[in-house]
Amino acid sequence: MKVCLVNPPRFKGIPVIREDRCENADRDCVHPPTSLVYIGGVLRELGHDVTLIDANGLNLTYPQLEKLLRKIKPRWVIFRSTPSTFYWDYKTATISKKLKCYTLMLNWNLHFARDIIETKYWDIDVYWNRYHYEYAIPQIIEKYPYYPRDNYPSTWDIPTPIWNQIPTFNIYYTRTRLLTPWAVVRGSKGCPYHCRFCVDAETGWYPRSPELIGEELEYLVKKRKVRYVSFFDNTFEINPDWCLQIADQIEKRNLRFKWYINSRADLICKHGIKFFKRLKEVGLDGSSIGIEFGSQEILDKSGKGTTVKQNYESIKILKKVGVKTYVSCMIGYLGETKEQMIQTYRFIKESKPTGFQINIVIPYESTLLYQDAVKSGVIKKTQNLDWRGLSCVPTDVVPVQLSKLPINEIISLRKQMYKKLYFSTWLLHNLFSIRNFSDLKLGIGYFVSSVGRIIKGVTFSH
């Protein structure tokens, strides 16, 4: 069966409607279509004729996408979507149906919307919003229109992904174009933790084998000359033995590249300096830590399961090892006061991480936070939230007020935090911590990017 995987023609951030594509005022990151690459690996293993079109990465227009689809003539078109770009991504389905293709939209953030989307948006034949899509989607397209809507395998040992269909990795970067050639790899998926604001909470933990990860990294680094890799696992270091096996694979294959992970403060404190020194030896260069809040009361209320003390200590540990620290924070949680939000600002200012982002809390309908907001009367269950605001970007679209501060004041406070931090001792601290030319180059790139964000009003989270 001919299958075409499409990363739609869209940019991250604020969409500005144009006739031919979803345009964006601030193209500050271009991510590789990692999810589609892994789905393609399974489809190819099953004998399907698979083609990947990264229309976003290649900056294609919708007319250009239609021309390619006419040439390929696939039976199925499978494409990714995000909440903030849903309405533009839907144009991919419209084009596909015009060409008499079956369409499948993948969007696991809008868990709650499957029935609405499949009945209202007629050009989508299948809307898949479950987490384990790599093995579900092949079964769906093979059995369509008769297929079970749930109960698909949750194993995750993906065969060789179709990275070979990516023409170049030089087009991918985040925050600065100097961070390239860049790839995003998933070593594990799912999260066993209980954060009430997270769509991935309590989804379990499903790792791939270190051997398969090693093979994938070897292809990317040696064959495709990728220099930077981000592991997009929800939390990388859940199982330290598994992490160390990946480190052994990197060393065994003599791979030279820099890599980045997502972490939890309590696990960093638990595993300690020796563990992260080993990862640093084989290229670990940075870790994003889900700090979330500077207030212990809000940390407890949100179900994060960490302490402010652990948050401070985790940054100290990674700094001692020489691993860059990027903290992810939020303001505007249910019932949060202005003073509690300012505690988050103080945490960033005092801990001086390498980088930071401050998002405004959004209540996805599939989260425990949404249920809390309904119970407290902040959200009415019949209330329709704007999907375009259900994302960390853009931050000027906030669909509902959860905290004790009006939405316009939260948006203003967030911008003030960024400006004060960018022009505080945080910046000088990071300038003096540069140790080599590579860090200097990236530092310049991030500095230029940061100045641009200030000039544009700090519209984006990343």
Q: What are phi and psi of 434, to 5 degrees?
A: -70, 130
When pLDDT is cut at 50, 70 and 90, the band that residue 29 belongs to is confident
Domain-embedded: residue 76: yes
Mean predicted lDDT score pLDDT of the chain: 87
- Per-residue confidence (pLDDT) for residue 25, from 0 to 100: 38
Portion of the chain with pLDDT greater than 90, in percent = 60
Total residue length of the chain: 462
Domain shared by 264 and 370, yes or no: yes
Domain-embedded: residue 432: no
44 versus 116: the higher-pLDDT residue is 44
Q: Any idea what DSSP says for residue 220?
A: I
- Report field, pTM of the whole predicted structure over 0.75: yes
Domain shared by 139 and 174, yes or no: no
d(CA 45, CA 58): 26
- Per-residue confidence (pLDDT) for residue 87, from 0 to 100: 81
Q: Which amino acid belongs to residue 188?
A: S
- Per-residue confidence (pLDDT) for residue 444, from 0 to 100: 67
- Using alpha carbons, select from 357, 340, 252, 356 the residue that is nearest to residue 301: 340
- Lowest average pLDDT, out of 11-15, 66-70, 78-82, 370-374, goes to 11-15
Alpha carbon 454 to chain centroid, angstroms: 23
- Per-residue confidence (pLDDT) for residue 253, from 0 to 100: 98
Domain shared by 217 and 80, yes or no: no
Domain shared by 116 and 177, yes or no: no
Q: Which amino acid belongs to residue 83?
A: P
Domain shared by 130 and 231, yes or no: no
Q: What are phi and psi of 54, to 5 degrees?
A: -95, 80
* Cβ proximity of 33 and 5 under 8 Å: yes
Q: What are phi and psi of 95, to 5 degrees?
A: -65, -45
Domain shared by 110 and 200, yes or no: no
Cα angle 55, 228, 161; round to 5: 55
* Cβ proximity of 269 and 318 under 8 Å: no
Domain-embedded: residue 163: no
The two beta strands, 22-24 and 15-17, are antiparallel
Domain shared by 240 and 128, yes or no: no
d(CA 55, CA 279): 35
Domain shared by 114 and 204, yes or no: no
The two beta strands, 182-185 and 188-189, are unpaired
Domain-embedded: residue 296: yes
d(CA 119, CA 97): 15
Domain-embedded: residue 179: yes
Tokens 């269950």 sit on residue: 381
- Per-residue confidence (pLDDT) for residue 448, from 0 to 100: 67
- Lowest average pLDDT, out of 22-31, 128-137, 240-249, 255-264, goes to 22-31
Q: From residue 39, how far is each of 73, 80, 128, 158, 252 by CA, in Å?
A: 19, 11, 13, 8, 28
Other beta carbons within 10 angstroms of residue 79's beta carbon come to 25
Domain shared by 279 and 358, yes or no: yes
What is the domain-level CATH number for residue 375?
Answer: 3.20.20.70
Other beta carbons within 10 angstroms of residue 272's beta carbon come to 12
Cα angle 39, 41, 42; round to 5: 70
25 versus 366: the higher-pLDDT residue is 366
d(CA 29, CA 446): 12
DSSP code string of 328-356: EEEE--TT--HHHHHHHHHHHHHH--SEE
212 versus 454: the higher-pLDDT residue is 212
Residue 362 has pLDDT above 90, yes or no: no
- Per-residue confidence (pLDDT) for residue 111, from 0 to 100: 66
The model's pLDDT over 327-349, given as tens digits with 9 standing for 90+, comes to: 999 999 999 999 999 999 999 99
The last residue of one of the domains, among 406, 423, 448, is 406
Helices (H), strands (E): how many in the chain?
15, 17
Sheet holding 76-80, edge to edge: 49-54, 2-7, 76-80, 102-106, 126-128
The model's pLDDT over 417-437, given as tens digits with 9 standing for 90+, comes to: 998 988 776 666 666 566 666
- Per-residue confidence (pLDDT) for residue 26, from 0 to 100: 46
Domain-embedded: residue 256: yes
DSSP code string of 102-127: EEEEE-TT-GGGHHHHHHH-TT-SEE
Q: Which amino acid belongs to residue 435?
A: R
Domain-embedded: residue 447: no
Domain housing 215: 168-406
* Cβ proximity of 93 and 78 under 8 Å: no
When pLDDT is cut at 50, 70 and 90, the band that residue 452 belongs to is low
Domain shared by 131 and 178, yes or no: no
Domain shared by 108 and 185, yes or no: no
What is the domain-level CATH number for residue 51?
Answer: 3.40.50
Domain shared by 211 and 359, yes or no: yes
Domain-embedded: residue 297: yes
Structural domain count of the chain = 2
Which helix (H) or strand (E) element contains residue 49? Answer: strand 49-54
- Per-residue confidence (pLDDT) for residue 385, from 0 to 100: 59
* Cβ proximity of 178 and 441 under 8 Å: yes
